[in-house]
Amino acid sequence: MNKLKPIVSVLIINYNNDKFIQDCIESIENQTYKNIEIIFHDDSSSDNSIEVISKYKKIKIIKNKIRTIHGAFNQMNAYQRAFKKSKGEIIFLLDSDDFFSKKK
């Protein structure tokens, strides 16, 4: 009997990084481990971030409409919102302009 592999949640926080989103998402999709959920939190981006991420159908998207002038505060709030939506037993945090190596 095979044990079920635990769900891994990758929480991605984004603000105006539309140029990097595809590489970020592909680095997750190309992992050797496959039981992964992706939660993408956009913090009121003014670029094409929402259009880019909307192309990926299996990703949970959180759109924040209220942004403060305090970047670190916005980022912590974003991770908190994304964490509440996650179902994973293991949680990874990833900024949208970063990526994972293949065997993360």
Q: What is the pLDDT of residues 3-57, one digit of tens each?
A: 689 999 999 999 999 999 999 999 999 999 999 999 999 999 999 999 999 999 9
Cα–Cα distance, 42 to 62 (Å, whole number) = 6
Identity at 26, one-letter amino acid code = E
Residue with tokens 């159908």: 57
pLDDT confidence of 2, banded at 50, 70, 90? Answer: very low
Torsion of CA 86, 98, 36, 101, to 10 degrees: -150
Cα–Cα distance, 65 to 44 (Å, whole number) = 5
The pTM is what?
0.89
